[in-house]
Chain A
Amino acid sequence: MKWKLDKKDFKPFLQSLMVEYDLFAPVQLAEGVAVFKKIDRPDEVDFSSSNTQKPAKEVFFPQSETMFRYEKTGKQHQVTSTEEVERKRVILGARPCDIQAVSLIDQVFSGKEYTDVYYVNKRKATTIIGMACDHPLSTCFCSSMKGGPFHREGSDLFLIDLGEAYLVELLTEKGKTFQKNKFLKEALAKDINSAKEVEEKATPKTDGSLPVAGIEKRLDQMLESPFWERVQEKCIGCRICTYLCPTCHCFDIVDEALTNKGQRVRNWDSCLSSLYSQETSGHNPRPTNRERTRQRIMHKFNYFPKNFDQIACVGCGRCIIYCPVNFDIRQTIKEIQNSPVQNAK
């Protein structure tokens, strides 16, 4: 059964969620600049951007996160944990690409090898309300990356904008608990049909033709390829593409210490920064942009697939939109796939 949420009921619906949950939703920080933030009032929610600048991963893996605090008073030491998540959470309006990306980084933070308590606690406490992407951008290529503008996997609830209302699908056990919400009404056949129309219109707008099959094997042979010289040429070495990437998940841990107290903090880090691989001795195994841009591509299209059988790119297109020098990862993918095959060494 499918459900319907009238837009006139949308704010009361949000209000009803906020009784039980901390609600994270897109908020505009400036014209055209949106991020996911915990909201205090339904009015703050703003879907006017096609997608947020910072991806939804930030709700589980904040850019800067305190891991614990410590204080020394006299001969006493006190350590305060920050692991616990006090209230259940809802992410509202995450796009399918961002949700697919969360399931990718789940494998890192709550996979076979490691359990990251900070990430897992937030993840467990969170219900994801996905939002179908009815206006994909020209930079979107989710359809090439096993996703799509209506890809539902990973969402607990899924909303499709029908103009006057949202069609609501309850997809998981977590999602089905929302049946009780008084603002959800049974959807009629015409609502389900118009949702299908929206889907059929939107789907062809994303590029599903990128040739990604076999890219991991090709890259196996390209570690020392002159190709990377060319790739790095225009990169200015900022961190936009990695910080705004929904699958990038590297971090750096630092102590912010005062004389008798402080906190341990983890911050997003970026392989495009020279400091990332700088060793204490001063030696840097990735001394130039060549090694650093190569690392970014290799991690997404070779190392991650080797570890987890999936490419660590969901085709959201943020790295293309926001790159100051118009580095286009779609072009890089095509060039890798068209490069002459070298003998494996």
Chain B
Amino acid sequence: VLVGDPVEESPLIETHPEVKEFEKKSSEERWRFFEKESSRCIRCYACREACPMCYCAECFVDSSNPKWMEKGLSPQDLEFYHIVRAYHQTGRCSGCGACERACPMEIRLTYLTQRLNRDVKELFDFETGIDAEAPPPLSTYEIEDKQEFIK
């Protein structure tokens, strides 16, 4: 039963204003922003624990063999954690914002996954959470896949 007039669907991924704003900045400005956000990290991993898409049996930060990173607060370790976590979310982040809400240090980094999701939309025409049957592009393949995006 349909009550009332159908409303127009909003094109979800294309309308993230913060990503558009962010892209206007120079790469130095973008790096400074990322550096500042990640520098507040206390490695409580609340973002990871609150994330519905973080379900690895062993997170790369906890692995000691191989050891991917140290356990302290050096900028490179904090930056590495947040970059890799964002990349692990490529085409999977549903944009629920649980990571930012959980963060006690108010770190704002979901723009990274939003941007990656837009890449996935452009490359594979896939949007997270729209079609439960569609396999996420980064965890499937077809023989006819074009390889142009691998450079």
CB interface residues, A 53-93, toward B, < 8 Å: 53-54, 63-64
User: Do A238 and B70 touch across chains, with their CB atoms under 8 A apart?
Assistant: no
CB interface residues, A 253-310, toward B, < 8 Å: 254, 256, 265, 267, 270, 273, 275
Cβ-closest 6 pairs across A and B: A64-B72, A238-B46, A324-B102, A322-B104, A239-B44, A236-B49
User: Do A30 and B72 touch across chains, with their CB atoms under 8 A apart?
Assistant: no
CA distance A256 to B74 in the complex (A): 11
Smallest beta-carbon distance A91→chain B, Å: 19
CA distance A275 to B43 in the complex (A): 14
Smallest beta-carbon distance B46→chain A, Å: 4
Interface residues on B, range: 20 to 34
Given A29-B40, A63-B73, A324-B102, 7 further pairs, Cβ under 8 A: A30-B36, A32-B106, A237-B49, A238-B49, A244-B42, A265-B70, A265-B72
CA distance A64 to B76 in the complex (A): 14
The one of A33, A238, A239 that contacts B105, using a Cβ cutoff of 8 Å: A33
0 or 1 for each of A316-333: is its CB under 8 Å from B? (1 = yes)? 000000101000000000
Interface centre among B36, B70, B98 (most CB of A within 10 A): B70
Cβ-based interface call for A171 (8 A)? no
CA distance A30 to B60 in the complex (A): 28
The size of the chain A interface, using a CB distance under 8 A, is 26
User: Do A29 and B105 touch across chains, with their CB atoms under 8 A apart?
Assistant: yes
Chain A residues within 8 Å of B, Cβ to Cβ: 29-33, 53-54, 63-64, 236-240, 243-244, 252, 254, 256, 265, 267, 270, 273, 275, 322, 324
User: Do A33 and B50 touch across chains, with their CB atoms under 8 A apart?
Assistant: no
The one of A32, A243, A265, A273 that contacts B42, using a Cβ cutoff of 8 Å: A243
Cβ-based interface call for B24 (8 A)? no
A238-B50 CB under 8 A given contacts A30-B106, A324-B102:
yes
Smallest beta-carbon distance A297→chain B, Å: 18
Closest-by-CB residue of A relative to B45 is A238
